[in-house]
Amino acid sequence: MTYGQGYETMLVVNDFFKLANNGQSCAKTEPVKKKENPMYVDYVTNDKHTESAKTNYLLQRASNVKYKIQEDLRIKFGLNDDETPHTAQELVDRITSGKYILPTEKEAELLNDRCWPYPSAMAGIKWRDPAVKEDRAGYKAAEKQLETAFDDVHDAVMIKSNDDALAAIKEFETWKPAS
């Protein structure tokens, strides 16, 4: 038997002290019980973690709805361009139908400065229907309304029950800005 490690060492040392102290023991001969690791969290049965996971899920779902609404608002207020033509035929069709906007002189000058030494004739063309006008002021107003509505949903997720929060998110999915 090898001495010097763990429980065996304690027994040897205890026997030594018994002899040295006229039979009185200085150390316990019971094995030391292993302590539970306080860093371990039982994620399956821990209610606090389960509630946190549900809250995080609902917050992410609400954020996804908000981002989808923002993208729809950008399209509605003419802030997003159409997709760039991918083939030569698409390019010809767009040009012949007039669904593009050429850059202004100032925009072209800025683009030429940035693209040096390889300026492109296609740089700066906005692939969009000229009939659709940008309405930045309308978008900003709608975005403020969206932020207010999202704050209400966020509050519901953080304060109310999960069922009430989910109902608030589903209602938020149908949100439209006031005109």
Q: What is the pLDDT of residues 10-51, one digit of tens each?
A: 666 666 666 666 655 555 556 666 666 656 555 556 667 788
Stated as kind and residue range, the H or E segment containing 167 is helix 162-172
Helices (H), 26-135: 47-76, 88-97, 105-115
Per-residue pLDDT reduced to its tens digit, 149-163: 999 999 999 999 999
Question: Residue 121's pLDDT is what?
Answer: 73
Distance between CA 59 and CA 28 in Å, rounded?
54
* DSSP letter, residue 118: S
Per-residue pLDDT reduced to its tens digit, 80-110: 988 889 999 999 999 999 999 888 888 878 8
Question: Residue 51's pLDDT is what?
Answer: 83
| Rg from Cα positions in the chain | 35
Question: Residue 89's pLDDT is what?
Answer: 95
Per-residue pLDDT reduced to its tens digit, 113-171: 776 555 677 778 888 899 988 999 999 999 999 999 999 999 999 999 999 999 999 99
